[in-house]
Structure 1
Amino acid sequence: MFSKVLVANRGEIAVRVMRACKELGVRTVAVYSDADKHSGHVRYADEAYNVGPARAADSYLDHEAVIEAGEKAGADAIHPGYGFLAENADFAAKVEESEMTWVGPSAAAMERLGEKTKARALMQEADVPVVPGTTEPVESADEVKEIADEYGYPVAIKAEGGGGGRGLKVVYDEDEVEEQLETAQREGEAYFDNASVYVEKYLESPRHIEVQILADHHDNVRHLGERDCSLQRRHQKVIEEAPSPALGEDLRERIGEAARRGVDAADYTNAGTVEFLVEDGEFFFMEVNTRIQVEHTVTEQVTGIDVVKWQLRVAAGEELGFEQNDVEIEGHSIEFRINAENAANNFAPAPGGELETYDPPGGFGVRLDDALRQGDDLVTDYDSMIAKLIVTAGDREECLARSERALEEFEIDGFHTIIPFHRLMLTDETFRAGEHTTKYLDEELDRTRIEQAVEKWGPADAESEDEADEEVTERDFTVEVNGKRFEVSLEERGAPAVQVPAGGGSGNAGGNTRSRPDEAEEDDSETVAVEGGEQIAAEMQGTILSVDVEEGDEVESGDVVCVLEAMKMENDVVAERGGTVAQVLVGEGESVDMGDVLVVLE
């Protein structure tokens, strides 16, 4: 086993990985940006290194900075968590070339499964069902029409290098074929430097089912059952559960074994997720996520298998210690993503602020994965997640009842969260019956019900008051020497309260001592001149896939101004009101952080 692991991530997933390391007797190394110098994952780690300014492209996404931190720390391995560099084959290859071990599938396997037509062909060879369509690129409208004549409209034209819906065009009749084909090819070339497209039958109301797998370097492949991730908002999962309420035992067994076959054929190792679409009792391969998933927790709860520990063990060369027949699914588990968002305002992220009250639930069957504590400031540069609430019980009915109790107990003050939305879902007949599809939230749920839920269960006043004059009684400081973080604690009896200087910190490396740091100074290293007017900002950290407006364009409320990709999901950024585009501050391919101004209207 490794002696020291660098976790190339932040927030709750970084703490999750570090907890697994500590239980294995492995020391942990955190990396952090200037915005995260007081964050929970930094406090929790045994040691920590600054890798750059707040902007993710200059810190968490900086290959050289992260690898250099690992080398300085003397780390044996790098675990990427999810997001950021987790599915970056180039970064994985650089780690493989270093003296450190990459905790994940090989760079070659990541590349092999990244091209959709090759992945489809590989799965077909392994007798894994794929959505009916082509496994070779198509070039003409006539080829598309032939596929549509065989399988029926609608069909989907997809960019071979696409993801998150970009380069995807749905064709409902013959008259649309030529235009949509040209658009998909053009987008594939623009966004992925690959104009190749393929065609498949379009599934209109599927379930999103994914299978957790583990594979070692000794030719052992195991699946850990399935998760249902069908409750989604604009392709973003909000509630996940295991097992799926929509699968019978026969379909459950077939989809699990198909995932095993596909992964085995891909010469894949470590943890991964094989994603499927299920409709009318049939299942079809969609893609493989070559990393740990946000929702891995529900699989752990119903199997009793620590997926992250096995990631580390497999990377260290160990053989999986259980057979497929040893994997048993017991009970039911649901994960609720606790995001700082206002569900009544189209899930707009909170602007940040202090966690005035943070009192999570407890009790039998309740698990919480987080990195924040009461008094912490919410860092909004990257995403809006505060925590993940995972509730487990003997069956789904009991799990729903326990979830109602846990969400009612969960108290967070200082800004809006989506807890009211989750409480609404637990009263929703379609969700409780397990009959929801991927289209339910966006196309069927009455939005006035969400507004009523926020009014009923949301914070009375989500705007936190400034507490600039609050006294700090502890003399705990953070200092950096050559980019490495050190904690210095001073205690002096009878001394007057002091103001912690900018760069000061709180707590110790073990995360046991807590104090409240003053608000950090603004990082003006990325200052952008923004004219007055309506500012349209990024709702999450990600990459700009397209910019759909130019200066001088007239837009109306609801018009898409650009498309942001985050964790393989496409997110339309829309204007909240009409106006004239005064400034466009981003371009295609640029990385942005949550809160970055993208477009200004006048």
Structure 2
Amino acid sequence: MFDKVLVANRGEIAVRVMRACEELGVETVAVYSEADKHSGHVRYADEAYNVGPARAADSYLDQEAIVDAAKQADADAIHPGYGFLAENADFAERVENTEGVTWVGPESGAMEQLGEKTKARKIMQSADVPIVPGTTDPVDDPEEVVEFGEEYGFPVAIKAEGGGGGRGMKIVHDPEEAEDQLESAKREGEAYFSNDSVYLERYLENPRHIEVQVIADHAGNVRHLGERDCSLQRRHQKVIEEGPSAALSDELREQIGEAARRGVREADYYNAGTVEFLVEEDPDRDPDEVLGPDANFYFLEVNTRIQVEHTVTEEITGIDIVKWQLRVAAGEDLAFEQDDVEIEGHAIEFRINAENAANDFAPANSGTLETYDPPGGIGVRMDDALRQGDDLVTDYDSMIAKLIVYGSDRDEAIDRGRRALAEYDIQGFPTVIPFHRLMLTDQTFVDSLHTTKYLDETLDEERIDEAQAKWGSESESQPDDEEVTEREFTVEVNGKRFEVELEERGAPAIDVGDVDASGGGGGQRPDRPGGSDGSSDGGGSSTEGQEVSAEMQGTILEVNVAEGDEVESGDVLCVLEAMKMENDIVAERGGTVTEVAIAEGDSVDMGDRLFVLD
């Protein structure tokens, strides 16, 4: 087993990996950006290293900085968690080529093959895994989209090869949309995955999203750990995940699981991964019926990493997937056979996002955890990295925690979820807890008749508003003017973080911010319950004319105008990505662009000035 693992991630998944390491007797190293210097994963780790500014491209996506941190810390392995660089085959190869450092994940070549959707489809075809009708070669011409739609029917899905979770996917409903949607999908693919290659698939009208957890070792042993149902989605983003699926018969469940094993074995894959499928739902199915062995299911994609919802599988199998990731990476063989995997009970995971579901799930742009009181009791698991008093970090994904409940069956899991969500008290910014409470009273979800389109196309939005009004809290955190006598400093020496605690008696604390030390020195593990308080002031300015501001936190994908340009009402000024969706920022009235305050690739917060028009 390894001596020290660097976790190339942040937040709850970083803490999740670190907990597994600690149980295995392995020391841990955190990396953090300037925005995360006081975050929970930094407090938890044995060591922590600063890898750059808040912008992910300059920190968590900086491959060289992360590998350098591993070298400085003498870490002998890197675990990527999920997101950021977790599915980046180039980064995996870089780690593989770094002497003395092991990549905790699949081999980079397998990642590259399965990460690019057209290559993955070919592998699955050769393994006799059903695939959705589509192309196996990249598409560049809008006419190809039109021809495909004429052959298989509209709508058509255009998907980025490196994409996932809806990012880089565009839907073409008629031939007139082909050119614009193709361009948009290619742009997203280039922006997020450095790969503008796209392919086509028939867009299924009533699909369920079923995924199979797999784990494989270097000796070629492949096991599947059952399926998860991730059909409750908003804009292709999973919201609630559960396992096993209440919609599948045992025969269909076995077919899908074995298909996943065949595909993974065909790709010479090892370590953890998830094979995702779309299962065609029967719109006339009764709640007491299940989908039989004749139901159509199709390969969707492979996620070559741990999943957010891996917790569901851990609860129903008793298998610690993260520990097995580490063991496989260290060269151990799987210690259990396929027949040893037993699925018992039912588990549901609720993603706790800092979003207001009643405001189109808009992410919170600021806040402090005035109250953080998570639920407990039998059958309740919390994966988080938070403590009361933490500031909300808005530079990254809005998910702040995960609540997982387990029951002897689905009914008990739902009842336990209702209880746990009612206990969960978060004050300081809005969360989606009211939405989750609503869903556990929603008959379509309770009957497990929902598809991936249910939230976007069927659920009455007024019910979300009512739930937010009934159970939500949007209190804004207030500055704390109370005098304090204990202070903590964050000191960085050669990019490594240390905590220094001081006491001042008989005088108010002075906000000195962080201290950068240029000299050498030593430090010890930060105290987990503690942490330092920091604040920053952002300056503002006023400009004559109409100011166009960001309505949400996100990243600028494209700037369409320059200073001096004349624009009309409705013209697209720029494209802002937020929550993995492209949003056109348009001019509310005509005028002359007198200021362009942003550039392609910039990260912006809600309220930031983007343009000024006269």
TM-score between both structures, scaled by the size of structure 2: 0.87
Q: CA deviation at 1:450?
A: 0.9
Quick one: distance in 1 between partners of 2:232 and 2:145?
Answer: 31
Quick one: distance in 1 between partners of 2:588 and 2:410?
Answer: 45
Tell me the equivalent position of 1:334: 348
Q: CA deviation at 1:597?
A: 4.2
Matched, 1:499 2:510: yes
Quick one: distance in 1 between partners of 2:543 and 2:380?
Answer: 45
Amino acid of the residue matched to residue 464 of structure 1? Answer: S
Residues 2, 26 of structure 1: 8 Å contact kept: yes
Distance 1:287 1:585, change over 3 A: farther
Q: CA deviation at 1:82?
A: 1.0
Amino acid of the residue matched to residue 322 of structure 2? Answer: V
Tell me the equivalent position of 2:182: 184
Quick one: distance in 2 between partners of 1:189 and 1:84?
Answer: 19
**Equivalent position to 1:482, from 471, 494, 497:** 494
Q: CA deviation at 1:292?
A: 1.0
Distance 1:321 1:537, change over 3 A: farther
Tell me the equivalent position of 1:519: 534
Q: CA deviation at 1:341?
A: 1.1
Matched, 1:367 2:378: no
Q: Please give the secondary structure, in 1, of the residue aligned with 2:22.
A: helix
Tell me the equivalent position of 2:575: 562
Q: Please give the secondary structure, in 2, of the residue aligned with 1:134.
A: coil
Matched, 1:509 2:525: yes
Tell me the equivalent position of 2:317: 303
Tell me the equivalent position of 1:464: 477
Amino acid of the residue matched to residue 509 of structure 1? Answer: R
The two structures, once aligned, show a CA RMSD in angstroms of: 3.2
Tell me the equivalent position of 2:583: 573
Tell me the equivalent position of 1:26: 26
Q: CA deviation at 1:458?
A: 1.0
Distance 1:139 1:453, change over 3 A: closer
Tell me the equivalent position of 2:432: 418
Tell me the equivalent position of 1:228: 229
Q: CA deviation at 1:201?
A: 2.1
Quick one: distance in 2 between partners of 1:247 and 1:528?
Answer: 58
Residues 491, 515 of structure 2: 8 Å contact kept: yes
Q: CA deviation at 1:164?
A: 5.3
Tell me the equivalent position of 1:269: 270
Quick one: distance in 2 between partners of 1:385 and 1:213?
Answer: 24
Quick one: distance in 1 between partners of 2:233 and 2:156?
Answer: 22
Quick one: distance in 2 between partners of 1:197 and 1:478?
Answer: 45
Residues 17, 81 of structure 2: 8 Å contact kept: yes
Q: Please give the secondary structure, in 2, of the residue aligned with 1:378.
A: coil
Residues 144, 199 of structure 1: 8 Å contact kept: yes
Within a 5 Å distance, the mapping from 1:304-319 to structure 2 comes to 304-319=318-333
Tell me the equivalent position of 2:603: 592
Q: CA deviation at 1:183?
A: 5.3
Q: Please give the secondary structure, in 1, of the residue aligned with 2:106.
A: coil
CA deviation vs aligned residue, 1:548-601 (integer Å, no higher than 9, x gap): 7776544559x89525276xxx4132559944585655555x263665948447
Tell me the equivalent position of 1:93: 93
Matched, 1:430 2:444: yes
Residues 596, 612 of structure 2: 8 Å contact kept: no
Within a 5 Å distance, the mapping from 1:168-247 to structure 2 comes to 168=169, 170-172=171-173, 176=175, 180=178, 184=182, 188=186, 191-192=189-190, 198-247=199-248
Q: Please give the secondary structure, in 2, of the residue aligned with 1:300.
A: helix
CA deviation vs aligned residue, 1:512-568 (integer Å, no higher than 9, x gap): 4436x43323489xx99988624115545xx655557776544559x89525276xx
CA deviation vs aligned residue, 1:60-114 (integer Å, no higher than 9, x gap): 1111111111100000011111111111122111111112111111221111112
Amino acid of the residue matched to residue 186 of structure 2? Answer: G
TM-score between both structures, scaled by the size of structure 1: 0.88
Quick one: distance in 1 between partners of 2:144 and 2:57?
Answer: 41
Residues 161, 188 of structure 1: 8 Å contact kept: no
Distance 1:549 1:338, change over 3 A: farther
Quick one: distance in 2 between partners of 1:116 and 1:354?
Answer: 40
Q: CA deviation at 1:119?
A: 1.1
Quick one: distance in 2 between partners of 1:276 and 1:293?
Answer: 15
Q: CA deviation at 1:198?
A: 4.1
Tell me the equivalent position of 1:38: 38
CA deviation vs aligned residue, 1:366-416 (integer Å, no higher than 9, x gap): 000111101111111212222111111111111111111111111111111
Quick one: distance in 2 between partners of 1:327 and 1:98?
Answer: 35
CA deviation vs aligned residue, 1:262-305 (integer Å, no higher than 9, x gap): 11111111111111111142111111111111111111111111
Q: Please give the secondary structure, in 2, of the residue aligned with 1:5.
A: strand
Amino acid of the residue matched to residue 17 of structure 1? Answer: V
Quick one: distance in 2 between partners of 1:528 and 1:289?
Answer: 45
Residues 207, 228 of structure 1: 8 Å contact kept: yes
Matched, 1:393 2:404: no
Residues 548, 609 of structure 2: 8 Å contact kept: no
Amino acid of the residue matched to residue 182 of structure 2? Answer: A
Amino acid of the residue matched to residue 525 of structure 2? Answer: A
CA deviation vs aligned residue, 1:174-214 (integer Å, no higher than 9, x gap): xx17x626852785378448776544322022111111111
Distance 1:430 1:212, change over 3 A: same
The total of aligned residue pairs comes to 585
Amino acid of the residue matched to residue 44 of structure 2? Answer: Y
Quick one: distance in 1 between partners of 2:596 and 2:166?
Answer: 23
Q: Please give the secondary structure, in 2, of the residue aligned with 1:135.
A: coil
Q: Please give the secondary structure, in 1, of the residue aligned with 2:91.
A: helix
CA deviation vs aligned residue, 1:211-256 (integer Å, no higher than 9, x gap): 1111111111111111111111112211111111221111111111
CA deviation vs aligned residue, 1:427-446 (integer Å, no higher than 9, x gap): 11111111111111111111
Amino acid of the residue matched to residue 206 of structure 1? Answer: P
Distance 1:187 1:296, change over 3 A: closer
Quick one: distance in 2 between partners of 1:485 and 1:404?
Answer: 40
